[in-house]
Amino acid sequence: MNFAVIGSPIEHTLSPAIHYANFNSLNLADTYRALHIRPEELGHIKDVIKQYDLNGFNVTIPHKETIMAHLDFIDQRAIEVNAVNTVLIKDNKLYGYNTDVTGYKQAYTDRFGTMKRNILILGAGGASKAVYRAHSELGDDITIYARREASFETFTDQNFQRLSSLQNLKSFDVIINTTPIGLKNEDLYDVMSLSRNKITEDTIGIDLIYNPEKTPFLYGFEDKMVMNGLSMLVNQAIHAFEIWYDNKHEGDYNTVYAALDKKFGGGRK
């Protein structure tokens, strides 16, 4: 089968490496291309599908929302986060899904279980919506911090507490960074004026960033309580693969994770 990721820019995407690690492990001769599709070219997506004989594709910046107008069916989760990152092509019809939600949820529950918790999400962009949806599905009590009030209105539902400042914070069971702060090793505690004094040895710290492997934010938590974004990244790809194969093939999470962990973490366990 033939797959791709569409986006602009697309040079730095890890998706081909992730999917080929999975194909190779499963002895599949499938292909996966990175295709540079500019916003003005998205209207010709059916020609692109034909040209590369695609069975499915991933969608990245800046097409996750705009692709929705070109689809025949959109999964409920993708509607709820207003973003599609995976498209299945079947009988000339296009089906849209969001595996960032399921990928994050899988990564989180595999690591920390399904216990109901008191969650603080830092940031209110695209990734925040996937994380919010996952924790909503788990029945958690959710607070979202955004620096701009208008950001809260971009969520399709408002079943969360709003926070516009991190001063005088109450305690949370889990704190998740969904902002890019830390990509360049910036200290989130300084940038957001977040005090470490509410973080205990039992507080879970999650950063969606995976490179660097451990951001300054994660250093505020006990080692055994932290998770970076790598398991979400791998799970979202594995879930896309399983959608394309109509769940007839299980993706090889462990092999793909090990390949990426080697790339970003030097093979650390």
State which residue, 93 or 148, has the beta carbon closest to ligand NAP: 148
Which span (35-43, 73-81, 229-237, 241-249) binds ligand NAP, by CB under 6 A? 229-237
Which residues face 57 on adjacent strands?
4, 87
Given the residues 64, 129, 214, 224, select the one marked as catalytic: 64
Determine, following the binding rule CB under 6 A, whether residue 181 of this chain makes contact with ligand NAP: yes
Instruction: Report residue 176 as tokens.
Output: 């998740």
- Give me the helix-helix angle, 126-137 and 99-112, nearest 10°: 60
Q: How far is the CB of 72 from ligand NAP (least distance, A)?
A: 26
Four-residue CA torsion sign, 114, 235, 239, 258: negative
Question: Tokens 């010709």 identify what position?
Answer: 44
Q: How far is the CB of 106 from ligand NAP (least distance, A)?
A: 11
- Give me the helix-helix angle, 230-244 and 99-112, nearest 10°: 130
Single residue of 127, 134, 226, 238 touching ligand NAP by CB under 6 A: 127
Single residue of 43, 72, 183, 254 touching ligand NAP by CB under 6 A: 183
What one-character-per-residue DSSP string does 6-38 give? EESS-TT--HHHHHHHHHHHTT---EEEEEE--
Determine, following the binding rule CB under 6 A, whether residue 191 of this chain makes contact with ligand NAP: yes
The answer to whether 129 is a known catalytic residue is: no
Binding-site residue total for ligand NAP (CB under 6 A)?
A: 25
Determine, following the binding rule CB under 6 A, whether residue 7 of this chain makes contact with ligand NAP: no
Determine, following the binding rule CB under 6 A, whether residue 179 of this chain makes contact with ligand NAP: yes
Q: Tell me whether residue 17 is exposed, middle or buried, using C-beta atoms within 10 angstroms of its C-beta: 0 to 12, 13 to 18, 19 or more.
A: middle
Q: How far is the CB of 82 from ligand NAP (least distance, A)?
A: 12
Number of C-beta neighbours around residue 2 at 10 A: 15
Instruction: Report residue 217 as tokens.
Output: 């934010």
Of residues 236 through 255, those in contact with ligand NAP by CB under 6 A are 236
Q: How far is the CB of 103 from ligand NAP (least distance, A)?
A: 6
Of residues 133 through 162, those in contact with ligand NAP by CB under 6 A are 146-148, 151
Determine, following the binding rule CB under 6 A, whether residue 185 of this chain makes contact with ligand NAP: no
State which residue, 56 or 123, has the beta carbon closest to ligand NAP: 123
Single residue of 18, 192, 225, 240 touching ligand NAP by CB under 6 A: 192
Active site residues: 64
Could you list the residues that contact ligand NAP (CB under 6 A)? 100, 123-128, 146-148, 151, 178-181, 183, 191-192, 208-210, 229, 232-233, 236
